[in-house]
Amino acid sequence: MQPEVLLSHGGVLEVTLEAAPSMVPWRGGQRWALTYNGKTPGPTLRVRPGDRLRVTLSNRLDSPTNLHVHGLHVSPNAASDNVFVMIGPGEEHTYEYLIPADHPSGTFWYHPHHHGTVAEQVAAGMAGVIIIDDELDTLPPIANTTERIMVLSDPRIGTTSDVLRWSMMGMMQGRFGDGVLVNATPQPSLTVPAGTMERWRILNASASRYYPLRLDGAPWWQLSSDGGRLAIPVDATGLVLAPGERAEVLVAVERAATMALTTTAWQSTPGMGGMGGMGGPPNRSGATETLLTVIGTGADTTAPAVNGPLNTIDSLADAHIGGTREFTFAMGGMMGGNGMSFTINGRSFDPERVDVEAALDTVEEWTITNATPMAHPFHLHVWPFQVIEASDQRTPPSGWKDVVDVPAGGWVRLRVAFRDFGGRAVYHCHILDHEDRGMMGVINVT
Ligand code: C2O
Ligand code: CU
Ligand code: CU
């Protein structure tokens, strides 16, 4: 159940990705999906710092698309991570990403980013993982672990393109499909000898769903978040992945027993029920759903303790702040018809307008406020950030991030280091229907 892996050789990885509808395996039969090279998830692209990644994207869909390398610290210009490029049906485009020699190792991903078609393309299956490896991955506690990629998604299941159709309410809340999948598989199980350390790179590739994760019966630790390794391993109890977020975890399989990785509906602020407790899926029973089962075999064995350090984080807590900014997520207008607006600072996305002019080689402090009754995940391209404070105290473990949940009616404060690359990129809500409906702004760094 692991996606195919394409590895770089001699510092180069050259691939062609064909975006096309395709029938994919489903419970002994088939279902309709949007795919890269006929697969969902698409192939895993595995590269190293300093590599050159060349991707030719060929569009065999009947709507425009393009490619974004989510979380990579690469140039947003020209043929690099430029989301203003549009690839029409029948066209192709070659991207070339130069991965800096000091790029952190970690789990990143690629997905379409043409404004207006992102939610339907990602929700229907277009996503794949990018891994950057480095030497530290060969040292304890990471060495001698069984590595797996886990792409979480919740597509709508059907045998025709009807799965692309959504109601206005669906667009507003975001799309929630028919059950939760791991690498497009419903409830896979892994058989693992007790005493094994499992290492999972988990990506939330859902268009809208948050995954509060729970693993019963095994100790587990988070090693990395979006932008690479944490300073030390952190107990992963209570881990929640918002759309677009990643976590790398170590799981100590110590017992010859069956354990489950589960999730439930996510309510960011229970009680703010103005819109029916938005932030969770339409099924708000709070029922627990199984993502994956681990079957431990052999004899119970105590796994070695996981301790750090893993990394030295260059903290922005004491950095000189070159500027502060405020952003407010809002939703307004009438439900029904096409009247609902999704804005940041009262404005809806305009690719021709620059909303933020920032200076290269400065650190800024941004406060993102959520003036709505549902949670929104904030995401910035190209330049990773550190989360300083959050209104609900759910400050993630210190490290580099590119997505952070902004709780309903709350706020988060973060610091962004504009280093290495100037250029024009975007920040947005990662509930992709919201992004497609305007909850996105343009930043130009010079
Ligand atoms: Cu994962 Cu601008 O997106
Ligand atoms: Cu991104
Ligand atoms: Cu949103």
DSSP label at residue 166:
-
Per CATH, the number for 5-133 is 2.60.40.420
Does the beta carbon of 175 sit less than 6 angstroms from any atom of ligand 1? Answer: no
Residue ranges, CATH 2.60.40.420, the chain:
5-133, 146-297, 323-445
Q: Which amino acid is at 386?
A: Q
Q: In whole angstroms, give the CA distance from residue 233 to residue 199.
A: 12
C-alpha 176: how far from chain center = 16
Q: 269 pLDDT exceeds 60?
A: no
Q: 217 pLDDT exceeds 80?
A: yes
Cα distances from 413 to residues 328, 368, 409, in angstroms, run 12, 6, 14
Does the beta carbon of 68 sit less than 6 angstroms from any atom of ligand 1? Answer: yes
Does the beta carbon of 428 sit less than 6 angstroms from any atom of ligand 1? Answer: yes
Model confidence at 63, in pLDDT bands (50, 70, 90)? very high
Per CATH, the number for 146-297 is 2.60.40.420
Work out the mean pLDDT of the chain and round it to a whole number.
Answer: 92
The residue with tokens 């799309």 is 175
Tokens of 403: 């997505």
Say if CB 148 and CB 1 are below 8 A apart: no
Is-above-0.75 flag for pTM?
Answer: yes
Q: Which atom of ligand 1 is nearest to the CA of 435?
A: 2
Nearest residue CA, atom 3 of ligand 1? Answer: 70
Tokens of 160: 């025709």
Instruction: Write phi, then psi, for 170 (nearest 5 degrees).
Output: -65, -40
Return the pLDDT at 420.
98
Q: Which strand ranges, in their side-by-side order, compose the sheet holding 196-204?
A: 185-186, 181-182, 146-153, 196-204, 246-253, 220-225, 228-235
Q: How far is the CA of 402 from the centre of ligand 1 (A)?
A: 9
Return the pLDDT at 304.
77
Tens-digit pLDDT profile for residues 419-440:
999 999 999 999 999 999 999 9
Lowest mean pLDDT among 262-276, 295-309, 375-389: 262-276
C-alpha 287: how far from chain center = 24
Return the pLDDT at 282.
44
Q: How far is the CA of 411 from the centre of ligand 2 (A)?
A: 20
Tokens of 293: 């089962």
Tokens of 51: 């590599």
What is the helix (H) or strand (E) element at residue 306, kind and residue range? none
Residue closest to 247 by CA, chosen among 256, 255, 238: 238
Q: Which atom of ligand 1 is nearest to the CA of 244?
A: 1
Q: In whole angstroms, give the CA distance from residue 31 to residue 253.
A: 34
13 by DSSP, 3-state: which?
Answer: strand
Does the beta carbon of 114 sit less than 6 angstroms from any atom of ligand 1? Answer: no
Q: Which ranges of 90-239 would DSSP assign to H, the alpha helix?
A: 118-123, 168-173
Q: Which atom of ligand 1 is nearest to the CA of 109?
A: 1
Question: Could you tell me which CATH class the domain 323-445 is placed in?
Answer: mainly beta
Say if CB 11 and CB 49 are below 8 A apart: no
Near ion ligand 3, which residues have CB within 5 Å?
376, 429, 431, 434
Instruction: Tell me which ligand sits closest to the C-alpha of residue 405.
Output: 3
